A and B are shown apart, each in its own frame.
Chain A
Amino acid sequence: EPEVTQTPSHQVTQMGQEVILRCVPISNHLYFYWYRQILGQKVEFLVSFYNNEISEKSEIFDDQFSVERPDGSNFTLKIRSTKLEDSAMYFCASSSDSLVGTQYFGPGTRLLVL
């Protein structure tokens, strides 16, 4: 069964450093998403991506964040200058249909900012 993969599984970084979280969505999917879950809190939407551009972003997704689909298979989330409060589990998801299609989630990347 096809699956969404994410790398790395864990990332530790110093405050102010840039991090890139990588995702490989399911190959025939067209809609891509990033979510995050701060420890003990709910899963929050960050951004959706379709047709090589951002289709929606949340208030959390400020200028420090960016997404890219550089080569038609990878989907990346970059945080330019990490803050302590960026420490969270980041999930990538993909879907074949934006409204009723199932979103398939990756296993997540746990980011710890020191």
Chain B
Amino acid sequence: GDSVTQMEGPVTLSEEAFLTINCTYTATGYPSLFWYVQYPGEGLQLLLKATKADDKGSNKGFEATYRKETTSFHLEKGSVQVSDSAVYFCALTPRGSGNTGKLIFGQGTTLQVKP
């Protein structure tokens, strides 16, 4: 079945460091891909999305490119801030008839940014 695999965390970085969180997926067809973020004590918020191959999603300095050839959707940010500390989830929505938009999540990666 469809699945998402994220790099293990936690990831600890100093402020202004470069961030990469790896995400790969297994799916039939061409799913839509998402990154969600969960700040402490809050629900999940959409960070960015891409709906077809080679699309780049971006928001708040974060970027991810839908790579069909490597089935990846890695999250990057050039300079992280303490306020970026959160749990990041990669997710997909399968495509095709009968699909209802359910999200299939990776296990989440905790990011801690130190001043």
The chain A residues found within 8 Å of chain B, CB to CB, are 4, 31, 33, 35, 41-45, 48, 50, 55-56, 58, 91, 93, 95, 97-108
Do the beta carbons of B100 and A56 come within 8 Å of each other? yes
The chain B residues found within 8 Å of chain A, CB to CB, are 32, 36, 41-46, 49, 51, 89, 91, 93, 95, 98-108
Do the beta carbons of B95 and A99 come within 8 Å of each other? yes
B103 CB contacts on chain A under 8 angstroms:
33, 35, 43, 45, 93, 103
Distance in angstroms between the alpha carbons of A102 and B64 in the assembled complex? 16
B104 CB contacts on chain A under 8 angstroms:
45
Do the beta carbons of A99 and B44 come within 8 Å of each other? no
**Most chain B CB neighbours (cut-off 10 Å) among A95, A105, A106:** A105
Contact of A106 among B43, B49, B51, B105 (CB under 8 A): B43
Distance in angstroms between the alpha carbons of A106 and B43 in the assembled complex? 6
B98 CB contacts on chain A under 8 angstroms:
56
Distance in angstroms between the alpha carbons of A97 and B32 in the assembled complex? 12
Do the beta carbons of A91 and B43 come within 8 Å of each other? yes
Contact of B32 among A93, A99, A106 (CB under 8 A): A99
